[in-house]
Amino acid sequence: MLKTIIFLMTFLMAFPAYAVDGKKLLEQVDRNLNPESYETYRKLINIEPDGKKKEFTMFSVKKGQDKIAALFLAPASDKGRSTLRLGENMWLNIPNIGKPIRITSLQSVVGGVFNNADIMNLDYSAEYDVEGVSEAAGNYLLLLKARTKTVAYDRLKMWVDKGKNLPIKIECLTEASMLIKTLYFKDLKDFGGGIVRPAVIETDSPLYKGYKSVMIFAKIKKRSFKDEVFTLTYMPNLDSLR
Amino acid sequence: MKRNIILLLILLLFFPAAVLAEESYTFDAAEIEKKPYHLGGYAELRPVLNVLDKDAALYKLQYYQDPRSTLMEWNGRFQLEGSYEKGIGSVFVKTNTDLRYSTFANGSERTAIFDGYGSLKPSPSWKFEVGKKTLKWGKGYAWNPVNFIDRPKDPYDPDLPIEGYIMATMDYIRSFDGPLKTFSFTPVIVPVYDHINDDFGVNNRINAAGKVYLLLYDTDLDFIFAADGSRTTRMGMDFSRNITTSFEIHGELAYIKDYQQPFLDNAGALQSRTQNVVSGLIGIRHLTTFDLTTILEYYHNGMGYSADDMKNYYSYIRQGYNRYQNTGNDQMLNVAQNLATGGYGRLSPMEDYLQLRLSQKEPFDILYFTPAVTVMFNLDDRSYNITPEFLYTGITNLELRLRAGFIRGSRDTEFGEKANDYRFEFRAGYYF
C-alpha cells in the first residue's frame, strides 16, 4: 500500500513536467536570450585563482540559425581580430597574419574557460535535441543531446526559470556524462526592445580548477544583416557595421 | 560580532575565489563607443645570440673579413597605425621601423609604410581599395606558393607582418543557400614603375591578378591567377576543409610559366635556365582534447635549387674563401653574395621541405602560456632546424617569447652550411 502511494505521488509530481513540450520550451529559451538576428557588445573576463584578470571586449552580429561573427575591440593586442561561424565552419582572422584560418569549437581564441563554441554560440535548439524535461526545485530541467558529433558538448543539462523561460544554469557534459564546465546565468537586465535576459554568464570548470570566466552583455539590439556580412572576404570589414 | 569578523577573515584567506564570485562586474558604455579615428601601435625588443659555425660555407661568406664565434644582435621594432572612417570611406596607415645593432654590422635603421590605403565600402557586397597593402593569399601556415603578389613570408616566423605593394583591389561577395554558400571575386592591379613597386619585377608594367573564392560543400576553395607582366604568368588554387571539428586539411598548387633561374654549374660558371615549374603544399592542422595543436606541412618548391645546385654554390664559396685567404681577392665572394640575394639565400632555397609544429596550450593549467616546438626538415639533403619556444601572453598587451634554434646538417647541406649552429632569441612585444 505504501509503495502504491509513493508511486502515485511521484507520478503526480512528475506529471506536469511531461505536459511541457521540451522542444518548444528550448526554442522559447533561445528567443528570450536573443532575437534571431541581432548585434551585441560583450566583455569577457578571465579570472585566475590569484584574482588576476584579463579582459576582452567584443562586438558580435548574428543572423538566423547558423551565422555569427565577432570582432575584438580590446585589448590593443587583440583589437581587429575577428571570428566567423557558418554552421559547423569556424574561422579566425588576425589582422597581421591577414588570412582567415579555420579553427575549432573546442579551441579558445581568448584562453580561459570559455571556448569558441561559448563565444560564438548558435541557438541551443539549432544544435541540440531535447531528450527529457522535468521539474527540479521549481524550475524546468532540460536534458539536451547534441544533434551531430561536431557540436562542442555532447550533452547539456539546462535549468530553466519556470516563470521567465530563461536559463539559470547549464552543465556541459561529455557523452559519458563527465562535466566539462558549468555556465551560470545572472543579473537579469532589460536591454530594451523587449529583450530581458541575464546580463552576466559566469563559467567554471573542473578542468580549470580555481579559474573562472565571465561574459558581460552591455547591449543587445535586434538588427538585420545581409548574408554577405557572414563571409570570409567580409571578415576584415566587420568594424564598419558598428 | 567578533566571531563573524574572524569567520570573514578565514573566508578571505582561504576562499578568495568565493569572494570574487560575488563581485559585481562593470562594463562602461565608453568602452564600446565607436570613434571615427583609431591610433595604436606596437613596440618590440628582440635580443638574439647566434653561436656561429666557423666551418660553414655561409659563415665564410658573411664573416670572412671579421671572424668571430658568436654574434649578439639587438633588434627593435616600432609600429604605428592609424585609421579614419567617415561614411562608406576610410583610410588606414601602418608604419614600421626596424632597428638593429650588432658588433658586426653596427647600427642600422629602416622605416617603411607597410600598409597605407583608402577603402570605399558602398555595401557588404562591394569593397574598393587603393594604396599599399598585402593580400596574404594561400592557406599554408609556413609557405604560400599561390601568394603570387605579396613579399614571401618568413617560414620560421610566419605571423610576422610584411610590407605591402601599391595596388588597386576590389571585392565582390555573394552569398547563397545550398552547397555553394559564398562566392567572392577579388581582381588586383599592381603597377610597377620607377619608385612604385620597383622591386616587384620588370619595370614599366601594369600587372593584373585575381582570386575567386568559393565556400562549397563546407570547403574553402580559391582559384588564383597572375597575368604575364613584371613576372611571368602564374596560376594556382588552394583549399581548406575540416574533416572533423578538430582535424583540418589544406593545400595549395601553383603553376609558374617560364620561370627563369640563375644557377652555378659544377665548373662555377653562372648559367640561367627557363622552365615551367609547379609548386605545391599539403598540410594538416589537428587539435587534441588536451589542446595540443599539430601542424604538419609538406612543401614542394618548384623554384628551388636541387641538392647538386646547392653543392656547387657552397663549393664556389669555399673556392672564393680560399682565394681570399691566399690573395686577398674577394671577387668570388662578392659574386656569391649577389647570388644569395638572387635566390640561393632565400629562406627556403631548396625543393622539398617538411615542417612539423607542435604547440600545447596552457599546460599544467598555466593560463596564457604556450610552449611549442617547430621542426623544419629539408627532405632533399636531410638537414634540419629544431626551434623550441615558450610564449606567455598573461599580461594585457604584453607578449613574451623565448626561442632557441638548433641548426643541424652535414657539410654541403642547407642547415649544415648555415652561418650559425645555435640561435637564442627573446622577444618582448607591447601593443598600445
CA dihedral B333, B337, B338, B342 (to 10 degrees): 140
**A119 φ, ψ (degrees, to nearest 5):** -75, -35
Q: Is A178 in the B-facing interface, judged by CB distances under 8 Å?
A: no
The predicted-structure confidence for B307-333, as pLDDT tens digits, reads as follows: 999 999 999 999 999 999 999 999 999
Whole-number percent of chain B with pLDDT over 90: 81
N- to C-terminal Cα separation, chain B: 48
Higher pLDDT, A9 or A20: A20
Higher pLDDT, B25 or A37: A37
Query: With an 8 Å Cβ cutoff, are B159 and A218 in contact?
Result: no
Burial of B29 (0-12, 13-18, 19+ CB in 10 A): exposed
The predicted-structure confidence for B122-171, as pLDDT tens digits, reads as follows: 999 999 999 999 999 999 999 999 999 999 999 999 989 999 999 999 99
What average pLDDT does range B26-54 have in this prediction?
91
Specify the pairing of strand B89-102 against strand B70-86.
antiparallel
Q: Is A229 in the B-facing interface, judged by CB distances under 8 Å?
A: yes
Whole-number percent of chain B with pLDDT over 70: 94
What average pLDDT does range A54-63 have in this prediction?
94
pLDDT on residue B9: 45
Q: Which residues of chain A have a CB within 8 Å of the CB of B398? A: 77
Mutation target to probe the B interface, by most B beta carbons within 10 A, among A47, A94, A228 is A228
Mean pLDDT of chain B: 91
Domain boundaries, chain A: 19-241
Q: Which residues of chain A have a CB within 8 Å of the CB of B175? A: 226-228, 230-231
pTM for the full model?
0.86
pLDDT band at B16 (very low <50, low <70, confident <90, very high): very low
Closest CA to A83 of A111, A54, A55, A108: A108
Q: Which residues of chain A have a CB within 8 Å of the CB of B291? A: 107
CATH tag, A19-241: 2.50.20.10
Query: With an 8 Å Cβ cutoff, are B21 and A212 in contact?
Result: yes
CA distances from A70 to A67, A105, B30, B237 (A): 11, 14, 19, 28
What average pLDDT does range B8-19 have in this prediction?
43
What average pLDDT does range A77-99 have in this prediction?
87
pLDDT band at B93 (very low <50, low <70, confident <90, very high): very high
pLDDT on residue B102: 92
Q: Are A165 and A157 in contact, with CB atoms under 8 Å apart? A: no
CA–CA dist A56, B280 (Å, integer): 38
Closest CA to B234 of B188, B192, B194, B168: B188
Nearest CB among B90, B127, B248 relative to A102 is that of B248
CA–CA dist A39, B304 (Å, integer): 49
Q: Are B117 and B133 in contact, with CB atoms under 8 Å apart? A: yes
CA distances from A159 to A162, A183, A184 (A): 9, 10, 10
Q: Are B25 and A42 in contact, with CB atoms under 8 Å apart? A: no
What average pLDDT does range B335-357 have in this prediction?
92
pLDDT at B14 over 50: no
pLDDT on residue B285: 93
Alpha helix positions (H), B266-406: 307-327, 331-339
pLDDT band at B11 (very low <50, low <70, confident <90, very high): very low
Closest CA to A95 of A214, A219, A236: A236
Mutation target to probe the A interface, by most A beta carbons within 10 A, among B80, B83, B182 is B182
pLDDT band at B10 (very low <50, low <70, confident <90, very high): very low
pLDDT at B13 over 60: no
| ipTM of model | 0.81
Closest CA to B164 of B136, B188, B187: B136
Chain B nearest C-alpha distance from A242 (Å): 7
Q: Is A163 in the B-facing interface, judged by CB distances under 8 Å?
A: no
Chain B nearest C-alpha distance from A228 (Å): 5
Spell A113-148 as b/e; 16+ CB within 10 A means b. bbbbbbbbbbbbbbbbebeebbbeeebbbbbbbbee
Q: Are B347 and B156 in contact, with CB atoms under 8 Å apart? A: yes
Give the A window 74-113 contacts with B, CB below 8 Å: 74-77, 79, 86-89, 94, 96-99, 101-102, 104-108, 111-112
Radius of gyration of chain B (CA): 26
Query: With an 8 Å Cβ cutoff, are B242 and A89 in contact?
Result: yes
CA–CA dist B431, B44 (Å, integer): 9
pLDDT at A112 over 80: no
- Cell 557534459, located at residue: A173
pLDDT band at A108 (very low <50, low <70, confident <90, very high): confident
Q: Which residues of chain B have a CB within 8 Å of the CB of A232? A: 182, 184, 213, 215, 220
Chain A nearest C-alpha distance from B182 (Å): 7
Q: Which residues of chain A have a CB within 8 Å of the CB of B250? A: 102
Q: Which residues of chain A have a CB within 8 Å of the CB of B141? A: 101
Q: Are B185 and B212 in contact, with CB atoms under 8 Å apart? A: yes
What average pLDDT does range A174-189 have in this prediction?
92
What average pLDDT does range B333-345 have in this prediction?
89
CA–CA dist A90, A119 (Å, integer): 12
Mutation target to probe the A interface, by most A beta carbons within 10 A, among B175, B369, B432 is B175
What residues form DSSP beta bridges with B260?
B274
Radius of gyration of chain A (CA): 19
The predicted-structure confidence for B419-430, as pLDDT tens digits, reads as follows: 999 999 999 999
> B307-327 and B331-339 helices cross at what angle (nearest 10)?
150
pLDDT at A13 over 90: no
Query: With an 8 Å Cβ cutoff, are B32 and A216 in contact?
Result: no
